């Protein structure tokens, strides 16, 4: 890992997000057109083409769930249940209620909060088919009160889905899981087919074709953020342990060659120890090729002259995951303005948050924590303003409204007021 | 207006949003490239080209504010102040606080809520330069606690901005207003120039070039929704007055030839009266050309057999503005699932909400109220999750986390846990 002494706080994580080639965009557009025109038939035929399996039906059957439970240790099922309970408990604290308020003129104003009717969650295929992603995307929707939650995921060559994903979905009571992936799955969720009714919002990560399809259908339905590469920043002083910092940096690096693992420390001695530990620990990892490539390309250690400068660097980076491994982490919390999830102290290693503690692991990446939030219950609800003007309030105020309307040259607005006087 | 008896609830407002021509997209891309490369010089030169005025400086001067106050009646200034106070009072009820919660193992979980650092608001030029838009976009940002709020708006040929806009901005204490519009203004807000520092989020409506530029910079900064054509739906029974319904429909129709004004009523008699009233009232409007074109193309009256069917139609339409002019509007509120703003009763004519009552007038258009909300304080804040695991919680749970990580094939995640035991 490269070690740099911080002299200029203008650091940035920002990397260009892959927006696809012209050819990829054309492929995605033609898939969407086919799904809109041919419905299920297009889904079967693209699944045969891309996933190399000819399905009998899109929907996961009871027999497949039973086989998934067979394949998984009961102990793992219990852990999934406990993780789900923790995630539910955290997200229930996010839920908000509608409110109404009356003033002395008898006018009522309010905000009605309503769950979305239907959402779709994309679960990537292959080695990235994570049970934890099912929990993290579905539970906030359930807490919000979304009635219809649909999962889609590309089948493997046996025509089914990984046991962990099926068990996680079943544990949450999901009734609609369809074995379809790629742009064709996004098109089905956005426009509907004979088997899959359209939804209002599409969540979840995917490859470039999924990301392009989400961009394409955005506006007709809502989508979540298009996720960029993932990152961790560790903020530390000399009190933290180099072996633990290194292990945490590597847990990020093993995700993806594009991932970045960054240490911002006030100690040059620690910087050198962490560098050596990373080099030592990475050699024994099963995913060492990925982790090495990630550390090589995007790993970095910044040494700051003091904690204040170090925190300024963190705010510039606006990381997805931030671990604070200083003598008094809580004391720095107020100064940390931009980070998706903040892990305080040595017992809050990032994987605790990825799987189990309760907060969501779907987080703003690539510096977007400056303006974005972790996935949360609000993402599955929308607001309506309520206005019930009283007769008294109307008579006290209609002339003011009419004057403002006329200032803006909107005469019919003023007359809508005056028509009430007739 | 066309009158249709409802037999099929499958109605929709949805119209294709203008996504620009290939040529328009190329123009926007080259403007953005120029602003990124040349900074202020590009802003002056595009302003000369498109707005036909060569400016000395981009920033509005104290002399211009003074002239604006000269130009406006004191009474209007007072009304703007009162409207601003109402808007502030409503939005303060939306503001949320950070929370933290401890469990019996000593673990602390929480949600930290932070205002964005800097936002930009685009105010369109010409006849669409509305003081009310300044109030509606700026006040929620101020309530959220955004420290830096920047307004941009294209100058007129005298090189200044409309008095109403300047007074509204000054009343709110805005210190940065720049006379620049179009794609060049969006590029400046997203990437910064010598005079205009970059922001984190860009709000506000604009023409097709502004909309395309917002799409282009999205991801690097956040943007609000790209607004589609505006609409009103009036839900009524035989108790409502046809002249008032007609006036309200026309207040929407005068905005824009693309606007839609729709009545959903349980009374055929009323439908015919409203049609006649619209035809009578439209003739006397200064903007009758626009209103007529809008009513002709997108005006519609649906007659439903009963209130239940009428409400089902409203939910299908998911309108931006909904007026409920029935005998007991409050009784229907629970059944109305999708609408941006809901106006209850005859004294809640839509312009009351456009200008004065307090709720925001920036609302989800074109049926997107199915999944979107009025502009609100949350749009200017973001969340960070906080995790502070206790030593006890770590020892009780690290094995579970490691097992989940290994189920997902992420060995380094498991080892980050186990490294803590050394």
One DSSP character per residue, B305-361 reads SSHHHHHHHHHHH--SEEEEESSSHHHHGGG----SEEEESTT--HHHHHHTSSS-S
Query: Residue B6 has what pLDDT?
Result: 86
- Is B321 assigned a catalytic role? yes
Percent of chain A clearing pLDDT 90 (strictly above): 89
DSSP A378: G
The gap from C-alpha A274 to its chain's centroid, in whole angstroms, comes to 30
In chain B, residues with a C-beta closer than 8 Å to the C-beta of A104 are none
What is the pLDDT averaged over residues A398-407?
94
What CA–CA distance (Å, rounded) separates A92 from A106? 33
User: What gap in Å lies between CA A25 and CA A186, rounded to an integer?
Assistant: 14
Mean pLDDT value across residues A30-53: 97
Please determine, for residue A14, whether its predicted confidence score (pLDDT) is greater than 80: no
Minimum-distance CB partner of B164 among A109, A351, A407: A407
Contacts of B254 in chain A (CB under 8 A): 410-413
Q: In degrees, to the nearest 5, what angle opens at C-alpha A15 toward C-alphas A275 and B212?
A: 165
Q: Which of A91, A300, A321, A338 is catalytic?
A: A321
**Nearest chain A alpha carbon to B330:** A388
Residue B91: active-site member: no
Among chain B residues, the shortest Cα distance to A341 is held by B385
Kindly tell me if the per-residue pLDDT of A9 is higher than 90: no
Q: What is the mean pLDDT of chain B?
A: 94
Cross-chain CB nearest to A356 (options B130, B368, B400):
B400
**Count of residues for chain A?**
422
CB B144 within 8 A of CB B95: yes
Residue of A293, A384, A415, A422 to mutate when probing chain B, most B C-beta within 10 A: A384
**Chain A residues closer than 8 Å to B215 by CB:** none
In contact, B341 and B353? CB cutoff 8 Å: yes
Q: Residue A126: is its pLDDT beyond 90? A: no
User: Is residue A8 predicted with pLDDT exceeding 90?
Assistant: no
First vs last C-alpha separation in chain A: 78
CA B210 to chain centre: 15
CB atoms within 10 A of CB A207: 16
Separation between Cα atoms, residue A26 and residue B392, nearest integer Å = 54
Q: Strand (E) positions, B180-221?
A: 201-203
| Packing angle, helices A74-92 and B391-407, rounded to 10 | 120
Q: Which residues of B touch A251 (CB under 8 A)?
A: 410, 412-413, 415-416
Chain B residues touching A247 at Cβ < 8 A:
412, 415-416, 419
pLDDT at B188: 98
Please choose, from the candidates B359, B363, B327, B331, the residue with its C-alpha nearest in 3D space to the C-alpha of residue B345. Answer: B327
State residue B396's pLDDT score: 96
Q: Within chain B, which residues score under 70 in pLDDT? A: 128
For residue A35 the two structure tokens come to: 């799904």
Look at residue B225 in the predicted model and tell me its pLDDT. Answer: 79
B338 is in an annotated binding site: no
Across the interface, whether the CB atoms of B408 and A114 are under 8 A apart is answered no
Question: With an 8 Å Cβ cutoff, are B76 and A403 in contact?
Answer: yes
pLDDT tens, residue by residue, A222-255: 999 777 788 999 999 999 999 999 999 999 999 9
The number of residues making up chain B comes to 422
The whole-angstrom separation of Cα B324 and Cα A228 is 44
Between β-strands B108-115 and B99-102, what pairing exists: parallel, antiparallel or unpaired? Answer: antiparallel
- Whether residues B417 and A351 touch (CB distance < 8 A) is answered with yes
What pLDDT is stored for residue A227 in this prediction? 75
- Please report the DSSP string for A296-336 in residue order: HHH-EEEE-SSHHHHHHHHHHH--SEEEEESS-HHHHGGG-
Question: How is residue A218 annotated by DSSP?
Answer: B
Nearest to A413 among B251, B360, B407 (CB): B251
- Of A320, A323, A338, A361, the catalytic one is A320
Q: How far apart are CA A13 and CA B264, in angstroms?
A: 52
Closest residue, chain A, to B365 (C-alpha): A219
Does residue A188 register a pLDDT over 90?
A: yes
CB atoms A351 and B251 under 8 Å? no
The reply to whether residue A353 touches residue B410, judged by beta carbons under 8 angstroms, is no
How many CB atoms are closer than 10 A to CB B239?
Answer: 13
Min distance A46 CA to chain B CA atoms (Å): 27
Tell which phi-psi region holds residue B196, choosing left (phi > 0), alpha (psi between -120 and 50) or beta. Answer: beta
- CA A108 from centroid of its chain's CA atoms: 36
- For residue A270, say whether it is annotated as part of any ligand binding site: no
Check residue A370 and give its pLDDT.
94
Q: Is the pLDDT of residue A69 over 90?
A: yes
Catalytic choice (B176, B320, B323, B350) = B320
Which residue, among B387, B408, B409, would best test binding to A if mutated, counting the most A CBs under 10 Å from its CB?
A: B387
Phi, psi at residue A401, to the nearest 5°? -60, -45
Burial class of A385 by CB neighbour count within 10 A (0 to 12, 13 to 18, 19+): buried
**Chain B residue with the nearest C-alpha to that of A163:** B407
CB count within 10 Å of CB B277 equals: 20
Domains in chain B with CATH codes = 2-15+229-357 (3.40.50.1980), 22-223 (3.40.50.1980), 394-421 (no CATH)
Q: Binding residue per annotation — B398? A: no
Q: What does the block give as tokens for A372?
A: 């974005």
Per CB-CB distance under 8 Å, the chain B contacts of A329 are 388
Q: B382 and A372 in contact by Cβ < 8 A?
A: yes
Question: So what's the pLDDT on residue B11?
Answer: 79
Cα atoms in the Cβ-side hemisphere of radius 13 Å centred on A258: 11
Structure ipTM: 0.93
CA angle B252, B255, B256 (to 5 degrees): 115
């Amino acid at each position: 890992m490269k070690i740099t002494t911080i002299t200029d706080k203008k650091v940035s994580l920002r990397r260009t997000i892959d927006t696809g080639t012209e050819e990829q965009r054309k492929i995605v557009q033609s898939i969407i057109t086919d799904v809109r025109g041919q419905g299920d038939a297009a889904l079967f035929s693209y699944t045969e083409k891309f996933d190399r399996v000819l399905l009998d039906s899109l929907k996961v059957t009871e027999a497949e769930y039973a086989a998934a439970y067979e394949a998984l240790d009961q102990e793992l099922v219990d852990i999934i249940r406990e993780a789900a309970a923790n995630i539910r408990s955290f997200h229930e604290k996010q839920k908000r209620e509608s409110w109404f308020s009356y003033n002395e003129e008898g006018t009522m104003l309010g905000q009605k909060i309503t769950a979305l009717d239907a959402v779709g969650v994309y679960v990537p295929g292959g080695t990235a088919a994570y049970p934890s992603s099912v929990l993290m995307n579905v539970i906030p929707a359930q807490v919000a009160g979304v009635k219809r939650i649909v999962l889609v995921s590309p089948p493997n060559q046996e025509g089914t889905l990984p046991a962990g994903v099926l068990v996680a979905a079943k544990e949450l009571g999901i009734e609609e899981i369809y074995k379809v992936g790629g742009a064709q799955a996004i098109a089905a969720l956005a426009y509907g087919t004979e088997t899959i009714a359209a939804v209002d919002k599409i969540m979840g990560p995917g490859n470039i074709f999924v990301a392009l399809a989400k961009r394409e259908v955005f506006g007709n339905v809502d989508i979540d953020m298009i996720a960029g590469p993932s990152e961790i920043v560790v903020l530390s002083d000399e009190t933290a342990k180099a072996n633990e910092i290194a292990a945490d940096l590597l847990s990020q690096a093993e995700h993806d060659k594009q991932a970045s693992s960054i240490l911002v420390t006030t100690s040059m001695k620690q910087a050198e120890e962490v560098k050596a530990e990373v080099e030592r620990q990475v050699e024994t990892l099963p995913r060492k090729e990925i982790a090495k490539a990630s550390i090589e390309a995007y790993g970095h250690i910044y040494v700051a002259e003091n904690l204040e400068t170090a925190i300024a660097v963190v705010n510039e980076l606006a990381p997805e995951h931030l671990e604070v491994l200083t003598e008094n982490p809580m004391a720095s919390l107020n100064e940390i303005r931009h980070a998706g999830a903040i892990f305080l102290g040595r017992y809050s290693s990032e994987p605790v948050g990825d799987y189990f503690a309760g907060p969501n692991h779907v987080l703003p990446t690539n510096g977007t924590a400056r303006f974005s939030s972790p996935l949360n219950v609000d993402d599955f609800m929308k607001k309506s303003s309520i206005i019930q003007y009283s007769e008294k309030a109307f008579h006290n105020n209609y002339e003011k409204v009419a004057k403002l309307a006329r200032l803006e040259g909107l005469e019919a607005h003023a007359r809508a007021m005056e028509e009430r006087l007739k």
